[in-house]
Amino acid sequence: MVDIQACINQAEKTCRLQGLILTTKRKLILTALLQVKKAVSAYELVELLETQFKESLAPMSIYRILAFLEKCHLVHKLNIANKYVACAGILNEQPHETSQLFFCQLCQRVDEVKLEPSKSSDLDNKAKQFGYQILSSHIELNCMCNACLR
C-alpha cells in the first residue's frame, strides 16, 4: 500500500529542489492520482475531485496542474489513452529513470517497471543512430492484465 503522505512530502521536497512549489491544488491532484490506483483523464479527475474531495476544479486548471506534475516527474501521461497516473517512484530520491508502463486497456490499471540502465542506454543510442532524440522518460505498452483476460 502506498503511503500517500510520504509521497506528498517527497513531492514537495522534489519541487523545492527545482525551485518550484507544490501548491494545495497540485497536492490535491497528486493525492487523487495516488488514491485512484489507475490511469484517469482530466475529466475523470474533475468527477473524482467532486465526489471524493468535495472540490471543484475546471478541466483547464487540471490540465495545467497535470503538466506541472509531469514536468516534475511526479506523474506520467499515457499518450496511448490520454490519461495520467502517479509515478511509482515518487519516494525514490534518485534521478528519474526510463520506465516501462504496462497499461491495461480494459481496467486502466498501470504498472510501472524501471528499465535497466543498459537497456535505456541502448534505446538512446539506437534513437541517435537513426537521427532521433528521445523525449519521453517512459515506454508505454498497451496490454490486458490477467484479471481482465479471465
pLDDT in tens, 56-115: 999 999 999 999 999 999 999 999 999 999 998 898 766 667 889 999 999 999 999 988
14 vs 54: CA distance, rounded Å: 27
pLDDT confidence band for 24 (50 / 70 / 90): very high
pLDDT confidence band for 9 (50 / 70 / 90): very high
Question: pTM for the full model?
Answer: 0.89
Question: Length of the chain in residues, anyone?
Answer: 150
28 vs 33: CA distance, rounded Å: 9
pLDDT at 128 over 70: yes
| Mean predicted confidence (pLDDT) in 115-137 | 89
| Mean predicted confidence (pLDDT) in 141-150 | 95
- Is 42:29 a contact under the CB 8 Å cutoff? no
What the block records as the C-alpha cell of 37 is 490506483
Instruction: Check residue 98 and give its pLDDT.
Output: 84
Which amino acid belongs to residue 107?
Answer: C
| Mean predicted confidence (pLDDT) in 121-131 | 93
Instruction: Check residue 136 and give its pLDDT.
Output: 81
3-state secondary structure the chain: CCCHHHHHHHHHHHHHHCCCCCCHHHHHHHHHHHHHCCCECHHHHHHHHHHHHCCCCCHHHHHHHHHHHHHCCCEEEECCCCEEEECCCCCCCCCCCCEEEEEECCCCCEEEEECCHHHHHHHHHHHHHCCCCCCCCEEEEEECCHHHHC
Q: Which residue has the higher pLDDT, 84 or 120?
A: 84
The gap between the terminal CA atoms of the chain, to the nearest Å, is 25
